[in-house]
Amino acid sequence: MLKRIVVALGGNAILSKDPSAKAQKEALEVTAEQLMPLIKDNDRQMVVTHGNGPQVGNLLLQQLGSDSEKNPAMPLDTVGAMTQGEIGFWTVQAFTRAMANNGLERYPVISAVTQTLVDENDPAFKNASKPIGPFYTEEQLPEIKKQFPDWELMEDAGRGYRRVVPSPKPLEIIEAKAFGPILESGSLLIASGGGGIPVIKDGKGYQGVEAVIDKDFSAAKLAEMVGADELLILTSGGDVYLNYGKENQVHLETVKVSEMRKYVDEERFAKGSMGPKVEAAVSFVERTGKTATITSLDNVENFVKSGSGTRIVP
């Protein structure tokens, strides 16, 4: 029986220094090839999810630059849907080509624009914390604040300043119940990009809200809802360390979920970078009793061969 793995791609898998569509598509083609060792032996089925923060930020800037009564800028939930479709299209093309290159062309690749249910009373709506868009230096802040007075900006893990928006926790991936037949058909599924479009219940339907859902928390919820055997979070930061960047840093390899939960509760990981990834991985293991791994995209082959990476186990 095929093992089902959900792979959460970090922004570095898509965005290079060149933000053009051509460059981002080329980056995804490299990424797709790097992920082929996961499925080339026909022993795993893969579901892929990805970030969209930089793309959302860039699209908002484009829209705000031409905002007018006849051409109004779209709200954040709609911009999220636009980038989810955009990146999904590029990702389908990249994986279709990579699978053909590896003799796996018999498997279709499908991208789904997905909504993620959140609680309208989530305290995150009163405390914007999720970074989106490009980084700004301290010297650029006065001009950015003058240009976009409604934006909240926050320092992001020592890398500069970014716009922050509410980031409620995902309760449910709305379309996940329909994914069963798609996955049983052998398809490679791309879903919940950028954490999914945040929605709240509205009578018998749903209404989009101005927020961004952390893609790793959404990936953990997606993995839970599709019955994944493993969650793999790929990040430019690679494996997880205690005291990262210090002389006494400790590489975490195989760690029991109870121990990792303790580190999370003690806030041992950077809030703007590794912290959410570890917390998402821990939540998946706690809720499912399965395994989650955090490592780098470049380490995928070693992960397949030896389980290399930071593995969080029940």
Which residues are marked as active site?
11-12, 130, 215, 277
Q: Distance between CA atoms of 114 and 290, rounded to whole angstroms?
A: 24
**195 Rama sector, left if φ>0, alpha if ψ -120 to 50, beta otherwise:** left
Query: Residue 253 is encoded by which pair of tokens?
Result: 């390899």
| 3-state SS, residue 156 | coil
| Cross-sheet strand order for the sheet of 152-155 | 130-136, 161-165, 152-155
Bridge partner list, 130: 165
- The candidate with the shortest Cα–Cα distance to 304, out of 60, 88, 7, 9, is 7
> Torsion-angle region of residue 267: left (phi > 0), alpha (psi -120 to 50) or beta?
left
Terminal Cα-to-Cα distance of the chain (whole angstroms): 22
Q: How many helices (H) and strands (E) does the chain have?
A: 9, 17
Question: What is the C-alpha separation between 95 and 25, in angstroms, rounded?
Answer: 11
Q: What token pair was written down for 81?
A: 């849907």
Torsion of CA 305, 306, 308, 311, to 10 degrees: 120
